[in-house]
Structure 1
Amino acid sequence: MSVDHYENFPVASILLPRHLREPVTNIYRYARSADDVADEGDATPPQRLGELAAYRTELHRIASTAGRKPDQGAAPGTALGSSFGSGYRPVAERLAPIFVPLAATIARHQLPITPFLDLLSAFEQDISVKRYADEATLLDYCARSANPVGRLMLHLYGVADAEALRHADAICTGLQLVNFWQDVRVDWHKDRVYLPQDALLRHGVSEEDLAACRLTPQWQALLGEQVARTRALLHSGAPLTRRLPGRIGLELRLVVQGGLRILERIEQARYDVFMNRPELGGRDWTIMLWRALIR
């Protein structure tokens, strides 16, 4: 699930069970606000990092209030709600609207702290890192910027075994990559290039080509390679969509089908994401729903 603007975060989805809407909203509020600290406004990099450091302080305080280390989830059966509900107060009161409800959600649903810290590290990285040397460094970023969202959702759903987490990671990384390939031009104007530098070199595509929006055979081969790898990731995680029950499973199948559909649209445009940024319309949603129901 993409962190950047949360196109795939099911905050307002009618398919999300009512009892999960509040905790999902609280997690979203935390992630959205921290992402905005990293990306929005005219603050300097040191100011942004300082604000995110305050977020980290609050996460560690939440963990210490629960009597556990930041890399530990709550032990099964541990009653933490009362300690969070009455004992936790943010050091910075301006952060109270974010962290008081988040602390209560973490306690009530026994969520691990690590995914929240991982998200924070990715937001900090956004401030200074604008290029990725190879696929490994890009996937490491996705593991912290996208995968934590899926992992937290699985904990809310009560399905967080090793296989489910592995499948969720594949889906979330795949969706993050879909957003990157969809937004090559948008990201370029933010001085960000998510295409691995070694892949650009291997295919003979320069950043000058990106700036000029050159739709060359080399570019088509490069993006075609990325699209194929991303599709394989989404398919590898797809078994999870059948493990989750009812509306939750349908929600996830629609999300996966949305990512796959955008990849199709990129191919149909002959990889011209410069002038033909793929967006999902009514016909796409009909196709996605049909595929989600039969696959």
Structure 2
Amino acid sequence: MASSRDRPPGPSSPTGEEAFRIRENAENFPVALRFLPRRYRDHLHAIYGYARMVDEIGDAFTGDRTARLHELATDLGTIWTRGQPSNAVLRRLARTVHDRAMSAEPFERLIEANLQDQVVSRYETFEDLRRYCTLSADPVGRMVLEVFGQATPETVARSDQVCTALQLLEHWQDVGEDRRAGRVYLPQEELRRYGVGEHELDRGSASPQLRALMRFEIERAAGMLGEGMAIVRQLQGWGRISVAGFIAGGQATVSALRQTDGDVLGQSAQPSRVATAARILGLLAARRPVR
């Protein structure tokens, strides 16, 4: 349910639908489970395509990224004024928005997150980072709930916990990659508390101090994910199954990160599809409360 921030393909990489499938397959979680009804898969793919496009503009557009994001925001707004967006991805998204009567704010927040990325590359405190996640991650979960018609104050609150946790876990997978891109998501005050200099993030393996910090960060994100898991019992039908897929991907990512023992620079922490599938079944098998 989190907005992915993996790097887009380079100039020689596949483009169009093939590139889209490659990026989707690289996610920690299944974007749209294959056995969902086609209408739901199409809606989820439309949302994913929008989120990926916004992130790619914010991360890799070769011109003025801020100006391009503002242009996109204007084009996005035409969806709710019953206009015709000029962007093909937005035209596909418009069908989903109108069919599911979706609100504009979550889509606008993703653009706001990428505008923030253009001027902010460090976060002083964990609370600062969490506020960023309310723009970059939480909106996607809210979109998913609206697709399934199950957005209530209770499910939205749990969804936000899950999405923030998923975003944090992705950041902890990509500490070295983000550093090379000029961004450090580890809170500055926590780097100081653990005695970790930013230059240590450039190494091929983590120092003992960084490993200790990463173990702390991984467990904190795991705790947030665990708190949000109650959403599976709050949802029904296909929405429950789909959201279980996102949470299972997060659980499998936690397991993969724990196996690095904090050395996120020297070891890959990619969850396996089999591990994710097994966790989906476990989540769905859990008993729902009697109403």
Tell me the TM-score normalized by structure 2. Answer: 0.84
Q: CA deviation at 1:181?
A: 0.6
2:248 and 2:277 in contact (8 A); partners too: no
Aligned counterpart, 2:40? 20
Which structure has more relative contact order (CA 8 Å, sep 6+)? It is 2
| Alpha-carbon distance in 2 for matches of 1:290, 1:10 | 14
| Alpha-carbon distance in 2 for matches of 1:9, 1:224 | 22
Aligned counterpart, 2:11? none
**How do residues 92-171 of structure 1 correspond to structure 2 at under 5 angstroms?**
93=86, 95=87, 97-171=88-162
Q: CA deviation at 1:159?
A: 0.8
Q: CA deviation at 1:9?
A: 6.6
Moved more, 102-111 or 197-206: 102-111
Counterpart residue type for residue 141 of structure 1: Y
Q: CA deviation at 1:247?
A: 4.3
| Alpha-carbon distance in 2 for matches of 1:170, 1:37 | 26
| Alpha-carbon distance in 1 for matches of 2:150, 2:277 | 29
| Alpha-carbon distance in 2 for matches of 1:284, 1:20 | 24
Aligned counterpart, 1:36? 56
Is the counterpart of residue 224 in structure 1 residue 224 in structure 2?
no
Q: Which has the larger radius of gyration?
A: 1
Aligned residues: 266
CA deviation profile, 1:113-161 (whole Å, cap 9, x unmatched): 0001100001112223211111111111111111111001101111111
1:241 and 1:253 in contact (8 A); partners too: yes
| Alpha-carbon distance in 1 for matches of 2:210, 2:31 | 36
1:15 and 1:247 in contact (8 A); partners too: no
Counterpart residue type for residue 277 of structure 1: S
Moved more, 12-21 or 235-244: 12-21
| Alpha-carbon distance in 2 for matches of 1:191, 1:184 | 11
Change (3 A) 1:2 1:56: closer
Tell me the TM-score normalized by structure 1. Answer: 0.82
Moved more, 253-262 or 202-211: 253-262
- What SS is found at the alignment partner of 2:216? helix
Q: CA deviation at 1:20?
A: 1.4
1:132 and 1:196 in contact (8 A); partners too: yes
Change (3 A) 1:283 1:101: closer
Unaligned runs of 5+ in 2: 7-23, 287-291
Counterpart residue type for residue 42 of structure 1: T
Unaligned runs of 5+ in 1: 66-83
Change (3 A) 1:38 1:243: same
Moved more, 214-223 or 126-135: 214-223
Aligned counterpart, 1:73? none
| Alpha-carbon distance in 2 for matches of 1:183, 1:15 | 30
CA deviation profile, 1:240-273 (whole Å, cap 9, x unmatched): 1122234442332232232122222222221111
Aligned counterpart, 2:203? 212
Identity %: 33
- What SS is found at the alignment partner of 1:128? coil
